Homo-oligomer: A and B are copies of this chain.
Amino acid sequence: MATRNLALRLSYDGSAYHGWQTQKNDSSVQETLEKALEKVCGHRVHAVGCGRTDAGVHALRYCANFKTDCPIPTDRLPYAVNARLPRDIAVQAAVEVDEGFNAIGSCIKKEYIYKILNRDIRDPFLEKRACFYPQRLDLEQMCRAAAAFEGTHDFKAVRSVGTETRTTVRTVHWCRVEKDGDLITVSICADGFLYNMCRAIVGTLVYASYGKLLPEEIPALLERGDRRLTGPTMPPQGLYLNRVWYEGPAGALFFR
């Protein structure tokens, strides 16, 4: 059988993993998925993910692709793989893509969401699923601050060092804040994200919400590019990769 390139849409609760990428001593989503794929396909598999997610970060819709010459029908693959995956990871759908498709390289844009439980008592059902923040947050200030991140900017001021990147300029298509009851959700869509960029942006919105900095100051802070002047990196458990955009059949996988 000819080699096929298959794209998967998966979701995972990241609580038990050290992120997507395989680590030396810790279990990763990538490694766990590759092992399950290996059992189904009968050969070693290399899965390419659409991005790193950190330890404890979740994915509602994540894209990975891999190449195989095993004959299993594409539409049966999710069931076969899920039977071999732990229950905190599930393949939701699979589609055959062009040979040149690559989950990270072919990605047009991504959306992350960050959930904050903003009330004074914890919710046991949101433990590890949202950031618990008991201090009252000002939604209007957060919205104003969020708008300042939209557009094409150098985002050096909101990234943690540690990973090499050609450029720190990114385009944020939207950065929005919504509230539903006690749950605040920040949605950030961009053509790419720097290391910890989402969590640092949300930390900056939180700072803006109680006046530690003003929304009007954000353009100047981005300009200066000094990570020490923006807000803290928020904890991982509130962060979810929510959506990924592609051209062609992989794109359809995320819009059905």
User: Which A residues have a C-beta under 8 Å from some C-beta of B?
Assistant: 11-13, 58, 60, 78-79, 82, 87-92, 120-125, 127, 129
For this chain, the copies found in one complex come to 2
A129 to B129 CA separation, bound complex (whole angstroms): 13
State whether B87 touches A127 (Cβ < 8 A). Answer: yes
* A11 cross-chain contacts in B, Cβ below 8 A: 123-125
Shortest distance between the CB of A74 and any CB in chain B (Å)? 15
* A127 cross-chain contacts in B, Cβ below 8 A: 13, 87-88
State whether A89 touches B124 (Cβ < 8 A). Answer: yes
Q: Chain A binding site: helix, strand, loop or mixed by DSSP?
A: mixed
* A121 cross-chain contacts in B, Cβ below 8 A: 78-79, 82, 90-92
Q: Which residue of B lies closest to A12 (CB)?
A: B124
* A92 cross-chain contacts in B, Cβ below 8 A: 121
Among A87, A88, A129, max chain B CB count under 10 A is at: A87
Extra contacts besides A82-B122, A88-B127 (6): CB < 8 Å: A11-B124, A58-B125, A79-B120, A87-B124, A88-B124, A125-B129
* A60 cross-chain contacts in B, Cβ below 8 A: 125
State whether B124 touches A13 (Cβ < 8 A). Answer: yes
Shortest distance between the CB of A190 and any CB in chain B (Å)? 24
* A58 cross-chain contacts in B, Cβ below 8 A: 125
Sampled A-B contacts (17; CB under 8 Å): A11-B123, A11-B124, A12-B124, A13-B124, A13-B125, A13-B127, A78-B121, A79-B120, A79-B121, A82-B121, A87-B124, A87-B127, A88-B124, A88-B127, A89-B124, A90-B121, A90-B124
* A124 cross-chain contacts in B, Cβ below 8 A: 11-13, 87-90
Shortest distance between the CB of A59 and any CB in chain B (Å)? 9
A123 to B91 CA separation, bound complex (whole angstroms): 9
